[in-house]
Structure 1
Amino acid sequence: MGEYFKQSKEAFTRNERRLAKQLSLMGEAHKDNMVRLDKEASTKIFQENNQKCKSNTVDLHGLYVPEALLRFDDAVQEVRDREGLSLRVIVGKGIHSDGKGPKIKPAIQDHAKSLGLPIEVDPLNDGCLVSSLFSYPRMYDTVLEG
């Protein structure tokens, strides 16, 4: 993908517009394929990690942050639809991150707080967060729907 885009820019610079367009289209095709494969991988990772989880638990480790945020929102809604009182969110400790520390955990904490949901680190497992859902039902509905 990157090589096609690079070659496209070079062709454009040389005023070879037709070649530049062809190379750009090839780069876009590779980009679309990459996005599709990333989405498939994300779905498989999520399914594998969550197949044995309890109904009030969601395992997000192994996902990219944007994917984790979407799955978190879905899990909150599912637990609330079942009138559950809390959600356990497995985020991992960030030991597999690129050396800059955990990414999913702080993103979920910030996101939950922005939605008005209390969320705390599980005192028995710092790779897990717990959110109480019973005290903020209407506020969360409004935020998710709006």
Structure 2
Amino acid sequence: MEECFNQSCEAYACDERRLAKQLSLRGEAYKANMELLDKEASTKIFQENNKGLGPNTIDLHRLSVFEAKAYFDDAIQGVRDRGELSLRVIVGKGIHSENNIARIKPEIQEYGRSLGLTVEVDSRNDGCLVAKINDPS
């Protein structure tokens, strides 16, 4: 993908617009395939992580921050639809992240708060969060 885009830029700079367009389209095809495969992998990872968990718990380990936010959104909507008040979110401690710095945990905390939720670290496990649906009354 990247090679196609780079070659497309080079062709365009050499005023070979037709070749540039072909290479750009090929790069876009590679990009679409990559995104499809990423989505399939994300789905499999999420399904495997969440086998046997109850409806009020999700595990976001091994997902990208972007993917984790999307699954978190879906889970929060499910909690709201069921009329429940909280969701336990397994995010990990960042042990397997670069420099052992958690990436998903702070992003989900901030994102949840931006959605009007109360998001706190689980007192029993600092690799988990508890997102609470705030009563609008």
Q: Output the CA distance in 2 between the equivalents of 1:18 and 1:128.
A: 53
Match of 2:54 in 1: 54
Q: What stretches of structure 1 of length at least 5 have no aligned partner?
A: 140-146
Distance 1:26 1:11 in 2: 14
Aligned length, in residue pairs: 137
Q: Distance in 1 between matches of 2:116 and 2:28?
A: 39
Q: Over aligned residues, Cα RMSD in angstroms?
A: 1.5
Residue deviations 1:95-136, cap 9 Å, x none? Answer: 222226111111110011112211111122111001222xx2
Task: Tell me the CA shift for residue 84 of structure 1.
Answer: 2.1
Corresponding residue number in structure 1 for 2:20: 20
Return structure 1 stretches of 4+ with deviation > 4 angstroms: none
Cα deviation digits, residues 23-76 of structure 1 (max 9, x gap):
111111100100111111111111111111111101111111121111111111
Contact 1:80/1:137 (8 A) holds in 2: no
- Residue 88 of structure 1 aligns to a residue in which SS? strand
Aligned position for 2:106: 106
Hey, what does 2:122 align to over in structure 1?
122
Distance of 2:73 and 2:15 partners within structure 1? 48
SS at match of 2:98: coil
**Aligned mates of 2:132, 2:16 — CA distance in 1:** 60
* Aligned residue type for 1:53: L
Within 5 Å, which residues of 2 pair with 1:1-146?
1-99=1-99, 101-133=101-133, 136-138=134-136
CA spacing shift, 1:105–1:71, aligned 2, 3 Å? same
Q: CA deviation at 1:22?
A: 0.9
TM-score normalised over the length of structure 1: 0.87
The answer as to whether partners of 1:89 and 1:128 remain within 8 angstroms in 2 is yes
3-state SS in 2 of match to 1:54: coil
CA distance in 2, matches of 1:34, 1:100: 27
Q: CA deviation at 1:138?
A: 4.3
**Tell me, which stretches of 5 or more residues in structure 2 are unaligned?**
none
